[in-house]
Amino acid sequence: MKPLAITITFVMAAGIAGCASTRNDSGPLTIARQGSFFVGGKNIQSDALSNLPAYAPAGTIAVNQVYVRYQEPANAKKTSVVFVHGCCLTGKTWESTPDGRMGWDELFVRKGFPTYVVDQASRGRSAADPSAIVAVKSGRQAADKLPQVFGAAQEGAWQIFRFGPKYPDVFPGMQFPLEAQAEFWKQMVPDWLNALPKPNPTVPALSELARKVDGAVLISHSQSGIYPFETARLNPAGIRASSRSSPAPALRQTAICLRSREFRYWCYGATTLISLLAGHHV
């Protein structure tokens, strides 16, 4: 496998959910394999699992695992694409858009790439540790021991996802289908980022996944923008390239990472990105 060589950065005006393909390729889709599994994680002992009589208060649980759902098309290319979502969202980000168009997951599968869509640690189908909440609820710990969990309001997310400078104003030329915004808001979930250990458990899990598929392009969005760099710094094995969309957390470290890894740099969108990956045979 060729070493890590490419970094691609591109910025979306309204987030991944509004930037996808039309359904010109909506014919039959042949899938050779599909399924799901977990990477990362560890077992811990907890004495604060439940305050309910029907469930044992103590025992062993798995934490910090990352859920992965994959699809492999027939006659798949050797390079796999790993999609990592951003703040307050799950892997649903990469599936069908709020207005029903083809998402990046399906688009890349139709172009022959195996895809792996993850839920970050403690998000979506990657379960969070309830111990601190249960302990506070039972009175065994003070309220200030509660995990730092947050949710993004629709009004605040309006700016975060660049719909406009403030709610409900819209940027000129903004392409997100506002008539479908209610479907987008339903995707948003509580975010446990600040309650997780450092480094974020998603990073070593992505490293494990890259080694497992042995040829991964890591595509991150917004909050997860720094994760491909952190994953490569941890262990570059299995990573062929990385791409970041709207990578706010990574901006300050981009130059350092580019110099240290000798990445080459492009600014392209999804369709061109597919051509780029195919043309450079990463």
The model's pTM is 0.86
User: At 209, phi and psi to the nearest 5?
Assistant: -65, -45
Contact 241, 5 (CB under 8 A): yes
Q: How far is CA 193 from the centre of its chain?
A: 12
178-234 residue pLDDT tens:
999 999 999 999 999 999 999 899 999 999 999 999 989 999 999 999 999 999 999
- Residues in CB range of 194: below 8 A, 6 or more apart: 148, 149, 150
For the chain, the average pLDDT equals: 85
For 252-279, give the DSSP string: GGHHHHHHHHT-EEE---HHHHHHHHHH
5-64 residue pLDDT tens:
455 554 443 445 445 555 556 689 999 999 999 999 999 999 999 999 999 999 999 999
- pLDDT category at 268 given cuts 50, 70, 90 is very low
Mean pLDDT across 133-148? 97
